[in-house]
Structure 1
Amino acid sequence: MEPKVRIAGQTFDYIVCGGGTSGCVIAAELASIPNVSVLLIEAGRDSGLAPDVLVPGKYVKQLQEDKGGLWELETIPQPQLNARKLVFLRGKQLGGSSAVNYMALARGPAADYDEWAKIVGETGWRWENILPLMRALEDFDPKLPADLKEFAAPQSTDHGTSGLLKVGFGDEMVPGIETFMKACSENGISLCPDINSGNPVGVGLAQFNVRGGERCYAANAFLSDSVRSSLKNLTIVTETECDRVHSKDGVVTGVDLYHKSTGVNSHVYCREEVVLCAGTFGSPRILMLSGLGPRDTLERLNIPVQAELPGCGQNMLDHSIITCEYKVKNSIPAHNQLFLNPGLLAEAEAQYSKDRTGPLSMYGSSGTLAFPRIQRLFGSEEFSKLTSKEKGFLMEPTRPSAEIWLGSGPSVYQDDRPEQSYVTHELLLQNNLSQGTVMIRSKDPRDSLIVNPNFMSHPFDRRIAIETVRMALKIARTEAYRGTIERMVHGPDIEFETADLDAITDEVMLNFIRKNLDQGYHSVSTCRMGKASDPDYVVDFRFQVKGMSNLRVADLSVCPILTCNHTQINAYLIGLRCGREMVQSHKARTQLAKL
């Protein structure tokens, strides 16, 4: 199959390598400049080719079965996880991971953005300056079912109504929200009226980028069919990988491309700037293949060094996930039952097709989550051994220790009986201090990456996991869940109903955790943003690559900290900030040329 758009040998003003969350936003921003040409290159498929992407209730099925829309990146064996290899999943299509993620939008604490600003030496990342961008991104609908209005009270000053990203609480609520809220309250977790206000600590209703029963994501929000037809200066090429950027005397001049279905290699030239938006794994790969990275790695692989970037591919941070799962009364509907009962699924498909309502609209577009601060962490031996800087960061009162989700149906536990009902408490472990790496294997762009998240290598991360599991077990053992939970089907090896939860040994906890901990889908920091004084910084606060001209990186790889949120909001903010920075830079150059 030949490429639909022939671009070999052509010259564009701007080239965006990667059509993920940040890339879509940047391409739309750049294409708003009159009389410039913009090329957006996406390694995966175009949007609109897989309609199930839009169906909220199929998000789990997507991650299990939609192989054509996913990158599957295998890690090296993880020493702290019984030498298991994990598989990191990322979106491989226009819209990137925003096309395949769980649709909950969580901004995190204001303190994270203030810390970001401090690290990079630029006040634009402070919460007070980021909040207007968050408001500009979203079209927020505060509507709630009458019986749940007591659980949320968002303020209009924290939200926007004119943005392209549709955000709300969901039209229909999944079962079990009130029970989970009460169980958290019994454990001293207070109600959070708006998890996106800058202080997420507590338990609250989640907000989702869904509207009218359909996923709203980077591709259909920022590069919809109508937008694309109006932007005649934007060329989008899919199924095409960016292998390298070319430079002369430190100035980027173009990119090498590879069209996957034909195996054809080509080169495209750039007049103004190239921006890499290939993500935490893809962007460092392109940089290193281009001779921009750690000198020892490049020389070992016989790649000529164009600029020494010791931090490229280093400092990887991620959340991690583990679940506790329970058999509950069969009268409670569960997400998994849809796909185990052909009759139920047919009814749900028919209802969704008719008016975008019903189970396929409800699951994935509504829910609740807790952001607790776990006091046992701060009294632990592991905490006492941290640096004063690390302690200060973790003790900030609006920074949660973890995130605990109410999930419908089992996650790890297997049961193919459609009449059986389960709930999952999904634990997203935050503030992890372990650092991993992403490295190229050779100078061949087709070779797989060497991915090492290094999960739980830091002792404090093991303590985070232990105490978060303990907290989750306490939530499930509350009076609120009495008569609802029948037994634990996936968790530590304890007598769930009678065990002294405070006395569970580290050995028992870690045995469960090492067997089951998995990726958190929030990998960041492999092209870290920082000050000139940071030896590992790869980009400055304007996203410009150290030692290079006309080259930027703008995706989750630049995040300088692991934020306590769902990192899709970071990707949107990075795209918006970088896109606007590039537009302003173009205007300044144009004005200067007129003088």
Structure 2
Amino acid sequence: MHSGSQADLNSIHGHAYDFIICGGGTSGCVIASRLARIPNISVLLVESGRDAGLSPDVLIPGNYVKQLQEDKAGLWELETVPQRHLKDRKLVFLRGKQLGGSSAVNYMALARGPAADYDEWARLTGNDGWKWESVLPLMKELEDFDPRLPPGVEDFARPKPSDHGRSGQVKPEMVPGVETFFKACVETGMPVCLDNNSGNPVGVGLAQFNVRRGERSYAANAFLDHSSRTRLPNLTIMTDTECDKIYCADGTATGVELYHKPTQETADCFFKVYIRCRREVVLCAGTFGSPKILMLSGIGPLDVLNRHGILPVLNSPGCGRNMLDHSIITCEYKVDDKIPAHNQIFLDPDLHKQAKAQYADSRTGPLAMYGSSGTVAFPRIQRLFESKEFADLDGQTQKFLLDSTRPSAEIWLGSGPSFYPANDPTKSYITHEMLIQNNLSKGTVTLRSRDPRDPPLVDPNFLSHPFDKRIAIETVRTALKVANTAAYRGTIERIVHGPRIDINSTKPDSIRDEELLDFIQDHLDQGYHSMGTCKMGAREDPTAVVDDRFRVFGMRNLRVADLSVCPILTCNHTQINAYLIGIRCAQEMEKYYKGTTERAGRL
């Protein structure tokens, strides 16, 4: 056995484990580390990607964009079906393929979202444990928050110590924003939000990031670093290994079928390994992976199983349905060249060399900041609530959207362009990145074939709901209003990626909807926050896949615990959901198994 460390196929062949966790992403790391503390039990964590520590770029905040573009070994790249409401474009969904999952490749922003989201989660599942008052202590337990403010931002940030924790594994801190963006947002009528993680994020404020002393803090180094692994002798980790199937007998999960890529590449024949599970299998393979594994195991919609010739184990009509996501679009601007921008660091070899040297010496400078610093606005957009599309919604949805703490959108200030091809290191650009929130369009994740090596068919179905088009139009209009303020006069020279307008002379309210929608349909992309494909809900909900304790309806000894269980599209950056899901699932299992194993140890 390997004490919390990397194992190979030979070392686990023939073994049985008490718990098998399929997926070493954010939730999987949390659950593995918690369950492995229970005496007298064994835990196997299976991760399809690489182990932590094999790519140092993961830890460098300033390499965030470069990492998403170049680190192919650490990413899943899932191409969607043509999006009929986006001019039949195919999008590429990126997710982390390594221990720590997407927390190893995300923007590092810690945004909890509004308290109302968690209260709605509790209402939909009938479990008050999801209310804000219940999850806030877990959020505080999770974080080791550094309350120190960057110089000069006292007017824009003032977090209350009572809303944050100081002894957890994840290490958020506040980093510098840009004063002009604050002033521009306030000029458009947005309030200042002194702590967007207080339960009411509405307004413009300073973002908080999972970065400490210039390094990314993520699930792998927070919960399964080297020292943690040495303290967990009953944890075995298998990387580069995919879970292809869950074995079931009489409605009970009994084990898993694994595919170990390195062994397969050197083997003379095709083979897989069956590992027996004594207690429970927990799927943590994410919004795309978990429904795929369930369906390959015979748990899913009967029409899908029959179409691919898979013997049905359980009809679960909601499996792979109900996919929700934010979506992203950017407006990008040429600005005064005296303003330093992220793109310059990578285009100018001398600047890049200096930045790398400074980072290596002190973990400071552009590579410690760009990609992890930011100012963020969470506006409420009145034009949305005055629209015909809003009037056409049902009363419950209107009530949900009208909560005063629920933002209509999210607008980030980014350094350098995201899509505009800036090739001159002497030129400066900024980005206003819009996260389109509260989307009502629902997509699907289903099987391409019965071959586990085939990626799933992903259809986010973006902009299929009329209200989503209105959200996108008014979000872009709001971002253009920010750029059109007096605060930005003399800073923004022209728009280089956006609707075809002169930003300095065109009033955003005068732009026709059709012009904005045309730009949106050409450029809208994934929001990196997919969820809902194994939805949590009440037993009487035919679209629910798991109950409020993460247990798959109709099965024993099988749970799903990752973003696929989220019953609503929360207005946040969803890594906090993944951490909470991991903690809540581990707590549910600890309640029972700690008692049984302690009793067994005394016999």
Paired AA for residue 389 in structure 1? Q
| Correspondent of 2:505 among 491, 498, 501 | 498
Which moves more between the two structures, 575-584 or 259-268?
259-268
**Aligned counterparts of 1:4 and 1:372: Cα–Cα separation in 2:** 51
1:89 alignment counterpart? 94
1:433 alignment counterpart? 440
1:66 alignment counterpart? 71
**Aligned counterparts of 2:535 and 2:406: Cα–Cα separation in 1:** 21
User: 2:343·2:422 contact (CA, 8 Å) conserved in 1?
Assistant: no
| Correspondent of 2:518 among 511, 516, 525 | 511
* 1:131 counterpart = 2:136: yes
1:374-385 equivalences in 2 (<5 Å): 374-385=381-392
Paired AA for residue 355 in structure 2? A
**Aligned counterparts of 1:151 and 1:501: Cα–Cα separation in 2:** 26
**Aligned counterparts of 2:238 and 2:120: Cα–Cα separation in 1:** 37
* 1:182 counterpart = 2:173: no
Query: Tell me, what secondary structure is at the counterpart of 2:262?
Result: coil
* 1:523 counterpart = 2:530: yes
User: 1:107·1:569 contact (CA, 8 Å) conserved in 2?
Assistant: yes
How many Å apart are 1:591 and its aligned residue? Answer: 7.0
User: 2:41·2:597 contact (CA, 8 Å) conserved in 1?
Assistant: no
User: 1:82·1:515 contact (CA, 8 Å) conserved in 2?
Assistant: yes
| Correspondent of 1:26 among 31, 37, 41 | 31
**Aligned counterparts of 2:135 and 2:8: Cα–Cα separation in 1:** 39
1:421 alignment counterpart? 428
* 1:266 counterpart = 2:273: yes
**Aligned counterparts of 1:394 and 1:289: Cα–Cα separation in 2:** 37
1:217 alignment counterpart? 218
* 1:42 counterpart = 2:43: no
How many Å apart are 1:590 and its aligned residue? Answer: 4.3
How many Å apart are 1:495 and its aligned residue? Answer: 2.7
**Aligned counterparts of 1:213 and 1:464: Cα–Cα separation in 2:** 36
**Aligned counterparts of 2:592 and 2:53: Cα–Cα separation in 1:** 33
Mind listing any 5+ residue stretches in structure 2 that lack a counterpart?
Answer: 1-6, 265-270
Which moves more between the two structures, 355-364 or 517-526?
355-364
How many Å apart are 1:142 and its aligned residue? Answer: 0.8
1:259-338 equivalences in 2 (<5 Å): 259-263=260-264, 264-338=271-345
**Aligned counterparts of 1:443 and 1:256: Cα–Cα separation in 2:** 14
User: 1:169·1:365 contact (CA, 8 Å) conserved in 2?
Assistant: no
User: 1:5·1:237 contact (CA, 8 Å) conserved in 2?
Assistant: no
Paired AA for residue 9 in structure 1? G
How many Å apart are 1:4 and its aligned residue? Answer: 6.5
How many Å apart are 1:35 and its aligned residue? Answer: 1.5
| Correspondent of 2:358 among 351, 356, 367 | 351
* 1:196 counterpart = 2:203: no
Paired AA for residue 343 in structure 2? N
Q: Please identify runs of 4+ aligned residues in structure 1 that moved more than 6 A.
A: 591-595
Q: What are the Cα deviations for residues 148-207 of structure 1, in whole angstroms up to 9, with x where unaligned?
A: 12211111110000100001103xx35xx1000000000000100100000000000000
1:10 alignment counterpart? 15
How many Å apart are 1:588 and its aligned residue? Answer: 4.2
**Aligned counterparts of 1:493 and 1:356: Cα–Cα separation in 2:** 41
**Aligned counterparts of 1:324 and 1:364: Cα–Cα separation in 2:** 17
User: 2:150·2:174 contact (CA, 8 Å) conserved in 1?
Assistant: no
Query: Tell me, what secondary structure is at the counterpart of 2:259?
Result: strand
| Correspondent of 1:555 among 539, 562, 567 | 562
Q: What are the Cα deviations for residues 272-330 of structure 1, in whole angstroms up to 9, with x where unaligned?
A: 11100000000000000000000111112111111111000000000000000000000
User: 1:544·1:552 contact (CA, 8 Å) conserved in 2?
Assistant: yes
1:402-413 equivalences in 2 (<5 Å): 402-413=409-420
Paired AA for residue 409 in structure 2? A
| Correspondent of 2:160 among 133, 155, 164 | 155
1:106 alignment counterpart? 111
How many Å apart are 1:379 and its aligned residue? Answer: 0.4
1:205 alignment counterpart? 206
Query: Tell me, what secondary structure is at the counterpart of 1:262?
Result: helix
Q: TM-score, normalised by structure 1?
A: 0.98
* 1:574 counterpart = 2:575: no
Aligned length: 590
**Aligned counterparts of 2:211 and 2:422: Cα–Cα separation in 1:** 29
Paired AA for residue 409 in structure 1? G
User: 2:9·2:260 contact (CA, 8 Å) conserved in 1?
Assistant: no
How many Å apart are 1:82 and its aligned residue? Answer: 0.7
* 1:393 counterpart = 2:400: yes
**Aligned counterparts of 1:102 and 1:590: Cα–Cα separation in 2:** 40
Q: What are the Cα deviations for residues 82-131 of structure 1, in whole angstroms up to 9, with x where unaligned?
A: 10000000000000000000011000000000000000000000000000
**Aligned counterparts of 1:65 and 1:311: Cα–Cα separation in 2:** 35
How many Å apart are 1:146 and its aligned residue? Answer: 2.7
User: 2:61·2:214 contact (CA, 8 Å) conserved in 1?
Assistant: yes
* 1:244 counterpart = 2:251: no
**Aligned counterparts of 2:182 and 2:594: Cα–Cα separation in 1:** 51
Paired AA for residue 427 in structure 1? M
Q: TM-score, normalised by structure 2?
A: 0.96
Query: Tell me, what secondary structure is at the counterpart of 2:171?
Result: strand
* 1:482 counterpart = 2:489: yes
**Aligned counterparts of 1:295 and 1:14: Cα–Cα separation in 2:** 28
How many Å apart are 1:145 and its aligned residue? Answer: 2.1
**Aligned counterparts of 1:366 and 1:411: Cα–Cα separation in 2:** 15
| Closer, same or farther: CA 592–119 of 1 in aligned 2, 3 Å | farther
1:165 alignment counterpart? 170
Paired-residue identity, %: 66
How many Å apart are 1:362 and its aligned residue? Answer: 1.1
User: 2:411·2:435 contact (CA, 8 Å) conserved in 1?
Assistant: yes
How many Å apart are 1:6 and its aligned residue? Answer: 2.5
2:254 alignment counterpart? 253
Query: Tell me, what secondary structure is at the counterpart of 2:338?
Result: coil
Mind listing any 5+ residue stretches in structure 1 that lack a counterpart?
Answer: none
Paired AA for residue 18 in structure 1? G
1:546 alignment counterpart? 553
Paired AA for residue 497 in structure 2? H
**Aligned counterparts of 2:159 and 2:72: Cα–Cα separation in 1:** 38
**Aligned counterparts of 1:346 and 1:213: Cα–Cα separation in 2:** 17
How many Å apart are 1:541 and its aligned residue? Answer: 0.6
**Aligned counterparts of 1:8 and 1:493: Cα–Cα separation in 2:** 61
**Aligned counterparts of 1:382 and 1:247: Cα–Cα separation in 2:** 46
How many Å apart are 1:367 and its aligned residue? Answer: 1.2
How many Å apart are 1:261 and its aligned residue? Answer: 2.5
User: 2:411·2:432 contact (CA, 8 Å) conserved in 1?
Assistant: yes
**Aligned counterparts of 2:389 and 2:293: Cα–Cα separation in 1:** 37
**Aligned counterparts of 1:517 and 1:437: Cα–Cα separation in 2:** 18
